[in-house]
Structure 1
Amino acid sequence: MVASASEDKTVRIWDAKTGKCERILEGHSDIVYSVVFSHDSTMVASASEDKTVRIWDAKTGKCEHVLKGHSRSVDSAAFSHDSTRVASASYDQTVRIWDAETGKCEHVLEGHGSWVNSVVFSHDSTRVASASRDRSVRIWDTETGKCERVLKGHGSWVNSVVFSHDSTRVASASKDKTVRIWDAKTGKCERILEGHSDIVYSVVFSHDSTMVASASEDKTVRIWDAKTGKCEHVLKGHSRPANLVVFSHDSSMVASASWDRTVRIWNTSMGECNDVLPSDSGTDVLSFTPDDGGIITSNGVSSFTDNCMSPENPPMPPPPSVVPALGLRDKIWVTSTGQDLLWLPAECRGGTAAVSAGTFAIGCRSGRVVVLGFSAAEIAKL
């Protein structure tokens, strides 16, 4: 199944194979900004301008709960990895944690002094991180609702926040032109990554958490050593701001998307541009395919040209057509049997993303829905 959110105040659930609309979920009284499936695919949560979050039965389309409490627009919602909780981020400067089964508000996370841009669960679902225009990141205990740490230091609003794969660190990207790496347990700022000359839109850890990549308004992407904070490479070539960045699964490549309507593929060891792929209308989605042989954007899947593949990065052999079961973790990773396959940049977490069986769908801010399918062989190669 695929779910989409719309300005027409509805959520629609579609059959991913036939494209047929299976359900129209009506009830919101204003624009629906985001929709997400639970990790077990039994529930759908939608966030709306009408100040509510709704939880729906994915099979019947019945609205199980209307989550009321926010006093302003709800921009995004996220399920915990175990699908027992929902977190919502709002312009009312709060994050709320809800019991997904009962619809009861368990905690109101208050403390931010401006609207909350993004919210994400840690992999073990014990913590939530929120990024706000008040220049801070906050880490919260999901059981108690207590704010464990307030990460202060940025000189302007924080655009995005992400946990490292092992959830021990947090990286934040800010309008103040810096990236900061924090100890998720102590809240201590371990590194300030300086070098960008304008707003930093996107930040991501490599899969082994040894590197950080950042994309900026200054038209560059930077690769940093996550331990020392040293800038290893400045990737130049885009003619307009770079808004998204993502690592390949083996961390040997970085892909960057830009408002110049291109996606560039870079070698992380040398910092060289190996390929330039067109993106007809720009993109708000960016990820490597499971075999690292292509790129997924809002425009679809693009294969690399021959000169992109080096001896140390050969393409994987074509997989058979057996379809595995997929999952979605914290609205950040598309997973299979607990293994991360595709990373969703921060810019997409408040958008539309859904999974069912071997199908993964992304609803883009442009209005398009990209539907992807994966086979067992593709996943086995990771």
Structure 2
Amino acid sequence: TPQEKKLRLAKQYLEELRQYEEERAADEEEEETQLVDLIGDRLKEDVLEQKGRLQRFVAKDVQPPDPASIRVLRGHQLPVTCLVISPDDKFIFSASKDGSLIKCKWEVESGKRLCMVPGGKKGSEERHLGHASHILCMAISSDGKYLATGDRNKLIMIWDAATCKRLHIFTGHRDAVSGLSFRKNTHQLYSASHDRSVKVWNVAENAYMETLFGHQDIITGLDSLSRDCCVTAGGRDGTVRLWKIPEESQLVFCGHQGSIDCIQLINEEHMVSGADDGSIALWGLTKKKPLALARQAHGMREAQGLQEPYWISAVAALRNSDLLATGSHSASVKLWKCGEGFRKLEPLWDIPL
């Protein structure tokens, strides 16, 4: 019965949790009496995470990296457009605008290039392993099994992350694929495109599921976590949207003045976005307006005798924490602290690159 299945899965989860905490306690030589407390704390964290209320306070302890410790990995011939790190933190996958080095797999510890898939000429995708146009986005499944890449030529390619072997090509978008994200702990893939649509795919079964419409301009970014929904940035339509997949409905959020170019979920209830007006915004999924907004986040520059803000080209969040990072063509990455309740943004460090 469904109840028996739920009970079996709950027991299995508790046993896995007990083994994990036992190993961790052994490594840290903690007392046996603390094990129950550790499991209890972990369960409380899992509940808060599901409700979108978990916020680990780590920002206060963050220090900028030593410039000498920053390593540069070279190999692409043209600008790198996207990258992902494997869930076990051992490998980096990167993609580029170039036609010769489309996908590289790097070892994090050594910086050694492990695998390279060259690109081909347009129209040769069926015969040739790689993409034949700029790769714009990339995602890896939470079990590290599948890698997805999307290109300017409307294609989504699915790869075996371990071998770099191409498994499938999804077609269906009518313009460049600009965003990809796997739903956490599943092989369900969300894709966003300049054709203004969001599509849902089942990668394990090589199946198309559905298409959702609503944005009035190209979609510039997409993200998802474990719920059956995703969030998108709508470029110059000035909106961020939450897509509820089963209900085929959407919530619309407004707050930036310019084109919204990047977005990421912080937890199940909060997200951060960046725009070309130089602002970054913190959102709660129950409020239509930003909880916090930082204008001119990367400062101002002079262009043709006029002062204009550096636009925000990338945002990142340490999931379920109070730490954010933003990128811009100001040649630096900025780290930010979210105030309690995500109602304040405080700059921490400016890291020159």
TM-score higher than 0.5 here?
yes
- Could you tell me how far apart the structure 1 residues matched to 2:342 and 2:146 are? 43
Query: Could you tell me how far apart the structure 2 residues matched to 1:99 and 1:267 are?
Result: 40
Deviation at residue 90 of structure 1 after TM alignment: 1.3
TM-score scaled to structure 2, two decimals? 0.58
CA distance in 2, matches of 1:196, 1:206: 18
Cα displacement (A) at 1:278: 6.1
Relative distance call for 1:89 and 1:226 in structure 2 (3 A) is same
Per-residue deviation, 1:47: 3.1
CA distance in 2, matches of 1:36, 1:63: 15
1:95 corresponds to which of 156, 169, 173: 156
CA contact (8 A) 2:95 2:104 kept: no
Structure 1 unaligned spans of 5+:
1-16, 280-296, 300-367, 369-382
**Which has the bigger relative contact order, CA under 8 A and spacing at least 6?**
1
Give me the CA root mean square deviation.
4.0
Q: Counterparts of 1:227-376 in structure 2 under 5 Å?
A: 227=286, 229-231=287-289, 233-238=291-296, 240=309, 243=312, 244-245=314-315, 265=337, 267=339, 269=341, 271-272=343-344, 275-277=346-348, 279=350, 297=351, 299=352, 368=353
One of 266, 280, 305 as aligned partner of 1:206: 266
Instruction: Give 1:154's aligned residue.
Output: 215
SS in 2 for 1:143: coil
Which amino acid in the other structure matches residue 178 of structure 2?
N
Q: Which amino acid aligns with 1:85?
A: Y
Q: How many residues align?
A: 258
The structural deviation recorded for 1:199 is 1.1
Matches within 5 A, 1:111-190: 111-164=172-225, 166-175=226-235, 176-183=237-244, 185-186=245-246, 188-190=248-250
**Cα contact 2:101–2:117 (8 A) shared by 1:** no
Task: After superposition, give the CA deviation of every residue in 1:181-228 in whole Å (9 maximum; x if it has no partner).
Answer: 011x42623311123332112323332x2233333334444443313x
Contact 1:253–1:268 under 8 Å retained in 2? no
Aligned twin of 2:17? none
TM score, norm. by length of structure 1: 0.54
Q: 1:139 to 1:52 in 2, by over 3 A?
A: farther
Alignment identity in percent?
21
Tell me the equivalent position of 2:169: 108
Whether 1:71 aligns to 2:132 is yes
User: 2 CA distance for matches of 1:161 and 1:130?
Assistant: 7
- The answer to whether 1:50 aligns with 2:99 is yes
- Structure 2 runs not aligned, ≥5 long: 1-67, 119-127, 300-308
| CA distances 1:256-306 after superposition (whole Å, capped 9, x unpaired) | 666777766453548455x44563xxxxxxxxxxxxxxxxx5x3xxxxxxx
SS where residue 123 of structure 1 aligns? coil
| Per-residue deviation, 1:70 | 2.7
Q: CA deviation at 1:121?
A: 2.0
Query: Does structure 1 residue 194 correspond to structure 2 residue 266?
Result: no
Answering whether residue 263 of structure 2 is matched by residue 216 of structure 1, we say no
The SS at the match of 2:220 is: strand
| SS of match in other structure, 1:105 | strand
Contact 1:255–1:266 under 8 Å retained in 2: no
